[in-house]
Amino acid sequence: MTEWLLLLAAVVLTVLTGFFVAAEFSFTTVDRGQAREAADEGRRGAAGVVEALKGLSTQLSAAQLGITLTTLLVGFLAEPAIGGLLEGPLESVGLSGGAATAVSVFLGIALATTLQMLLGELGPKNLAIASPLAVAAAVAPGMRAFTRVFGLPVRGLQRLANAIVRSLGFEPREELDDARGAGELAAVARRSAEEGDLSPTAARLLDRSLGLRDKYATDVMTPRTRLVTLPDTATAAEVIAAAVASGNSRFPVWHTDLDDVTGLVHVKQAVAVPEAERDTRTAGELARPVLAVPSALHLDPLLDLLREEGLQLALVVDEWGATHGIVTLEDIVEELVGEITDETDRPLRQLRRRGEDGWEVSGLLRPDEVRERTGIAVPEGRYETVAGFLTQRLARLPVQGDTVDVEGHRLTVAGLEGRRVALLHADPLPRPDDEDDLAARQHEVSREVAQA
């Protein structure tokens, strides 16, 4: 009878172990935001979960204390109970007293361990991971009561553990930080897309949205050298002609030079001028003030600024006050959704296939754009374009035919516009095996020619 009572006590303690294990895993895996939403909706037990998470470190210490105590007691009670129950049957099948005792002890330990693992560890753990909020809501009241009863040893052990952590140079925290960094959110989006929970397009949009904080106005602007601008003395007719020739609708207007931009004129303003006055009304008279932003401004606040001001374009100015370029709302949106074209856009050859493995690359593309669209890992550096990378690597202005090797590819200057690299050819470097085969074929051809 005693053995059966001990076994019953061991089973009860194993269930308690499972309770503490479920509490530990559910508190650490439950989504804090989901728990707060459930509490706001008045769902049963959710408020207790939120309260428990505010003192998560204490709750985990209490759970660990409960696991340790119940596990030790199970080992103390279960082995002799199971061994005592098995010893008689083992002797009845012919085992001697000593052998029966040894076998019963072994079987008692094995059965107690199996019971503890299944009911006290694995089962509760898997249940808590599968449904963390529901499990946390179920165990929170019991954990609150246990923490009150064993508050003194729990707090004592907690202080001792915190002292050890501080001695190692770290600061203990009472609760987990439920805020996610941009990198973590992007990784979650990519995993969700891989698992089919999120469309690749949505994952890519989220990834690019998070990347705005790491990019500057200079990364997406149209540089000074490519701007189509007008002096403030240009007539309305010349504004219309510039729009027809360039395909642009807005033009920076300057007074003395491009570093003295006084405003912005839209072709609609010129068209609105009566035809008889188009040769006398000037761009300076039509121009509206232009927003100037520093070149070091991040894209996310720049996007907010353009939206708040209701503007489509801003002038990018460097630290010396010189005009660096212009950035449009469309430039920023294209960082999120990719290239946007309409019937008014002039075709611009930026990237296209060249043969089976090669690429034609515009020198104006950024390294990250080339990497994203071709897989060629052009290094980042103190330059903004692939052309800038070549210039830095060569330590001089590139000329036609210059080559630079990067990450298994050879970049060749294929076109210049003045001193600027306009077009590059990117071709994979031959593998060593291919070079050996080519050398062998050349040698074979040379030998055949010599024999002939």
Q: What is the pLDDT of residue 452?
A: 52
Q: What is the pLDDT of residue 338?
A: 72
pLDDT confidence tier of residue 316, bands split at 50, 70 and 90: very high
Give the separation between CA 242 and CA 45, rounded to whole angstroms: 69
Q: Which of 20-29, 82-91, 356-365 has the lowest mean pLDDT?
A: 82-91
Q: What is the pLDDT of residue 73?
A: 84
Average pLDDT over every residue of 188-214? 78
Average pLDDT over every residue of 210-215? 80
Report pTM: 0.54
Q: What is the pLDDT of residue 436?
A: 55
Residues 235-260 pLDDT 10s: 999 999 999 998 889 999 999 999 99
Q: What is the pLDDT of residue 278?
A: 92
Tell me which residue of 385, 425, 383 sits closest to 404, measured CA to CA: 425
Q: How many beta carbons lie within 10 A of that of residue 370, not counting itself?
A: 26
Q: What is the mean pLDDT of the chain?
A: 82
pLDDT confidence tier of residue 1, bands split at 50, 70 and 90: low
- The number of C-alpha atoms within 13 Å of 320 and in the hemisphere containing its C-beta is 4
pLDDT confidence tier of residue 49, bands split at 50, 70 and 90: confident
Q: What is the pLDDT of residue 83?
A: 59
284: amino acid identity, one letter? G
376 phi and psi angles, rounded to 5 deg: -80, 120
In the block, residue with structure tokens 């609760």: 175
Distinct helix (H) and strand (E) counts, the chain: 19, 12
- Is the pLDDT reported for residue 182 higher than 70? no
In the block, residue with structure tokens 């060593």: 432
| For the chain, percent of residues with pLDDT exceeding 70 | 82
- Is the pLDDT reported for residue 53 higher than 80? yes
Average pLDDT over every residue of 2-9? 73
**In residues, how long is the chain?**
452
- Is the pLDDT reported for residue 179 higher than 70? no
- Evaluate whether 299 touches 332 at the Cβ level (below 8 Å): yes
pLDDT confidence tier of residue 280, bands split at 50, 70 and 90: very high
C-alpha dihedral, 239 to 244 to 250 to 252, nearest 10°: -50
Structure tokens at 253: 């207007």
Q: What is the 3-state secondary structure (H, E, C) of 167-195?
A: HCCCCCCCCCCCCCCHHHHHHHHHHHHHC
- Residues forming a β-bridge with 409: 406, 428
Q: What is the pLDDT of residue 82?
A: 62
More confident residue, 11 or 399: 399
- Evaluate whether 410 touches 427 at the Cβ level (below 8 Å): yes
- Evaluate whether 89 touches 108 at the Cβ level (below 8 Å): no
Q: What is the pLDDT of residue 347?
A: 46
Give the separation between CA 226 and CA 323, rounded to whole angstroms: 12
Q: What residue ranges define each of the domains in the chain, with the CATH number in brackets?
A: 2-167 (no CATH), 182-213 (no CATH), 215-337 (3.10.580.10), 351-433 (3.30.465.10)
More confident residue, 170 or 264: 264
Give every strand in the sheet of 409-417, ordered side by side. Answer: 351-354, 358-362, 420-428, 409-417, 403-406
Structure tokens at 33: 């935001």
DSSP assignments along 338-403, one per residue: -----TTSPP---EEEETTTEEEEETTS-HHHHHHHH---PPP-S-SSHHHHHHHHHTS---TT-E
Pairing of strands 403-406, 358-362: unpaired
- Is the pLDDT reported for residue 324 higher than 60? yes
pLDDT confidence tier of residue 411, bands split at 50, 70 and 90: very high
Residues 342-380 pLDDT 10s: 555 544 457 888 888 888 888 888 888 888 888 888 888
Give the separation between CA 266 and CA 331, rounded to whole angstroms: 18
Structure tokens at 424: 């590059």
Pairing of strands 250-254, 230-231: parallel
- Is the pLDDT reported for residue 431 higher than 80? no
